[in-house]
Every structure is written in C-alpha cells, then in structure tokens.
Structure 1
C-alpha cells in the first residue's frame, strides 16, 4: 500500500474537529496574509528586500502572493491539501531564514516557525475526514 494511502487511512481514523479548525485557521491566515501583501506593497517590499537582488527575485514576489492566496483557499476547503501545503513550505522556510539575513523581527520569526511546523504536520496528516478531499474520495 502506498505511503499517502496509509497516511490518509490513519488520518481518517484519527480525525478530530480541533485539527480541522486548525487547518481552516491556517488557510484563512495564509489567504489574509496574501491579501495584505497584495495591498500593502511598501511593507511587502521591505520584507523581500534581502532577496530582491537574487536572480528571479520578482518571480519570488509573485509566487509568494499567489501561493498564499490560492493555497490558503485550498487549505480552508481541504482540497489538495498536501499540494497546497507543499507550496507553502519554501515560503515559510524563507520567511524564517530571512529574519537572520535582514533585520530580525522576533514576531515574524516565531510566527513563521509555528506556521512551518503546523504545515509540516498537515503535510503528513493530510486534510482529514472533514474536507473536500475526503468528500470527493467517497464519491468515487
């Protein structure tokens, strides 16, 4: 049996509403963060200043906003959750590391670390029983 199938079976057998609520909160937070990056460009420019001189820096900027917005919605509904989480991990890891390259923002450092750990959990746990993934799987 495949690893993902066995993880899904375990997650569906051990599903809890607080875990689903946590998944939804993380998705909403990421979506709102994407919206805030889109609307508050001055703050966002300051955050990505350490990587703007790296080749393809503008590609990173556009990827971050799109991944947060689209990935956040997908995580909220539990649709392709592992793929959406996998798109968030490099961003969250970079957010964690960027605090050491530029100015250290302790609040951002803690927040990015917590989100990274929570996303790692959902990468293995999946979307759970109360999600679009589970609903579509049961419709087959």
Structure 2
C-alpha cells in the first residue's frame, strides 16, 4: 500500500496543466462511446456474438452492453470533471482491456482497424491518469483546496 501512495504522490507533484485538457478530451471520448453504445446496441451485440466471446447468451450480452454504456457515461463525466478520477479510471480499465484483447484484436493489426488503435490509445491514457491523478484543473483539486483533503 505504501508503493501506491508514493505513486499517487509522485503523480500529484508532477502534473502539468496541459494534461488536464488531455484528461477532459479522454473523458469526452469515453462519454461519446457510451452514447454510441446506447444509441445502437445491435451493432455491438452482433460484434460480440460474431467473435463468440466466452459463449455468453444474447440476454447476458445485452445486459453487459448496458452496464458498459452506463459505466462509460458516468465514468466519462467523472473524468471530464476531474471528480474521483482515479476511481473512474479504474472502472474503465477492465472494459478497455476486454475491448482491446477480445473485441478489437480479432480483425487484426491493420491500419483500417481504427477501433483497435483508439482502444489502445484510450487504455494507455487511462493508465496514465490512474498514475498521475486528476490535476490542478479539477473538482478534486477544488475540494482539496477547500477542505485540505484529497478525494481521488
């Protein structure tokens, strides 16, 4: 546990303001992906059933899609605001790992497979913000300055 605290402290000390704008863009991308999942669940459901991921039934896939969409909507907003950022990022990481290794990797590493590259980039940014935290332009920082405590 001491190592995690040291990493969090290092991330809090070494955080440039331009990274906050990157965090906001990341949150908007995740939020937009959640909206796209909700607006057309049949495309994602067909993609999962075509890849035969773990042999789940269509009901389980539909429930999973809605849970992922909800996690993306809420997590994206939390990341944009910089509110409990590390928690929101940790919730997103398993979803992106699943997307990279089980959904987007099957078409291959071709250049037209933009979903794979977007998923890899978002996964990398999520890990980055898990380490460095929310930054100076965030609700977490405002709460910290107001009460002297850290909430991420």
- Normalised to the residue count of structure 2, the TM-score between the two structures is 0.79
8 Å CA contact 2:100–2:116 kept in 1: the answer is: yes
Match of 2:55 in 1: 53
| Residue 99, structure 1, aligned to residue 100, structure 2 | no
1:2-35 CA distance string (max 9 Å, x none): 5555444433433322200000000011101100
- Evaluate the alpha carbon distance shift between residue 20 and residue 12 of structure 1 in structure 2; reply closer, same or farther with a 3 A threshold: same
Match of 2:29 in 1: 29
Distance in 1 between residues matched to 2:105 and 2:2, nearest whole Å? 39
Q: What is the number of equivalent residue pairs in this alignment? A: 139
Counterparts of 1:1-140 in structure 2 under 5 Å? 2-3=2-3, 5-49=5-49, 50=51, 51=53, 53-54=55-56, 56-97=60-101, 98-101=103-106, 103-104=107-108, 106-140=113-147
Give unmatched runs, 5+ long, in structure 2. 148-152
1:45-78 CA distance string (max 9 Å, x none): 2333233732743442222101100000000000
Does 1-10 or 60-69 show the bigger shift? Answer: 1-10
1:82-127 CA distance string (max 9 Å, x none): 11001111111111112234x4472111111111111000011110
Distance in 2 between residues matched to 1:12 and 1:116, nearest whole Å? 20
Match of 2:150 in 1: none
Give unmatched runs, 5+ long, in structure 1. none
Distance in 2 between residues matched to 1:100 and 1:110, nearest whole Å? 10
What secondary structure, in the 3-state scheme, does the structure 2 residue paired with 1:67 have?
helix
Distance in 1 between residues matched to 2:117 and 2:83, nearest whole Å? 27
Distance in 2 between residues matched to 1:52 and 1:10, nearest whole Å? 39
More helix by share: 1
Distance in 2 between residues matched to 1:42 and 1:5, nearest whole Å? 42
